[in-house]
Amino acid sequence: MDKVEITEVGPRDGLQIIPHIVPTDTKVALIRALVASGFKRMELGSFVSPKAVPQMADTGEVTARLGPLPGVRGMALVPNSIGARRAIEAGITDLLFVISMSNSHNRSNVRRPTEASIEDLRTMLAEIDPDRKLTLRIGLATTFHCPFEGVMDEGKVYATMERIAAIRDGLEFSLSDTTGMAMPDHVKRFSRRCLEGFAGRATFCFHGHDTAGYGIANVLAAWEAGVRSFDGAVAGLGGCPFAPGATGNIASEDLVTFFSRMGVETGIDIDQLLEAGKIAASLKGAVTSGHARSIPRERLLGNGVPLQDAA
């Protein structure tokens, strides 16, 4: 049976744009519910400026309260070496470092050009991880489409990725459709090019949004290109505060349902995930999205319900 890895990003990517600050207790409960659903990889939070993103100021405390999560890789977003040091102190060595492929979006996101972010990554790794104990996922924001620049030039993005990959082997690249405006042919062609071109040097996942309704189409395109790792957010929470019009991440429930119906093993228990989704949906200020949550459970996996029962 084919398998797919689904990384739950709701506790970071989802909660960071909720205008209200979610209490630490609630975050811990949500993460525990998601762990119970079977996720083996999850974004737990970020170590960024508490002034810029107060929603994530308690990530260290969340991590401490959670304690060890056997068999689960807890990840944290870090924007620079200061954040990376804080993450390591909190016991997190799976880091997500975001670099926008579009200069405009990188400037909007972290107030510096893309090349400065790459240089910062290089310096940071040399400083804090000379022994290569960290696991790095590079979030390649606006891989396909930028809210400011439009459709991205594939050759330029690939060349930028080459410069990042040159920093060290073994990085994981997250091909990210930040705006949800990527087209499936673009996703499939570019994913294939990357998997071939970086074979043995880097691994890949796909991070999408369903803003324009292309979410599942793009997931399928990446899957067909050979990508076997995808991001989802419980209840379709999320978006990007620096990408106007970019709404929720692809809902984890939609990913699990879709892959299950494809006959692909996700390792996620949909019933427990739907329960976790109720916690997410009940958060003050949460904007949820996704489809599976609105489909009656007995029909969710595409089974029939006999006519006499359904009438």
**Which residues form the catalytic set?**
240
**Contacts of residue 161, Cβ cutoff 8 Å, sequence gap at least 6:** 101, 140, 173, 194, 198, 202
Answer yes or no whether residue 170 interacts with a copy of itself by CB under 8 A. no
Which bin fits 193, alpha (ψ -120 to 50), beta or left (φ > 0)?
alpha
Number of residues that bind a copy of itself (CB under 8 A): 48
**From CA 278, how far away is CA 294, in angstroms rounded?**
12
Answer yes or no whether residue 210 interacts with a copy of itself by CB under 8 A. yes
Stretch that binds a copy of itself, among 8-16, 59-67, 119-127, 146-154 (CB under 8 A): 146-154
- Of 201 and 297, CB closest to a copy of itself: 297
**From CA 296, how far away is CA 181, in angstroms rounded?**
29
Answer yes or no whether residue 311 interacts with a copy of itself by CB under 8 A. yes
Q: Looking at 39, 97, 173, 258, which residue binds a copy of itself (CB under 8 A)?
A: 258
User: Of 56, 14, 11, which is closest to residue 37 (Cα–Cα)?
Assistant: 11
Q: Looking at 163, 278, 284, 299, which residue binds a copy of itself (CB under 8 A)?
A: 299
Q: Looking at 167, 217, 264, 281, which residue binds a copy of itself (CB under 8 A)?
A: 217
Report the run of H or E that residue 94 belongs to, with start and end.
Answer: strand 94-100
Q: What share of the chain is helix, strand, coil (3-state, %, to 5)?
A: 45, 20, 40
**From CA 76, how far away is CA 52, in angstroms rounded?**
16
Q: Looking at 36, 64, 126, 151, which residue binds a copy of itself (CB under 8 A)?
A: 151
Q: Could you tell me the smallest distance in angstroms from the CB atom of residue 295 to a copy of itself? A: 6
Q: Looking at 21, 183, 264, 281, which residue binds a copy of itself (CB under 8 A)?
A: 183
Contact in structure between 45 and 107 (CB atoms under 8 Å): no
Q: Could you tell me the smallest distance in angstroms from the CB atom of residue 288 to a copy of itself? A: 13
Contact in structure between 202 and 173 (CB atoms under 8 Å): yes
- Of 211 and 266, CB closest to a copy of itself: 211
Binding site for a copy of itself (CB under 8 A): 104, 107-108, 145-151, 179, 181, 183-185, 210-217, 220, 244-245, 247, 251, 254, 257-258, 261-262, 290-292, 294-296, 299, 302-307, 310-311
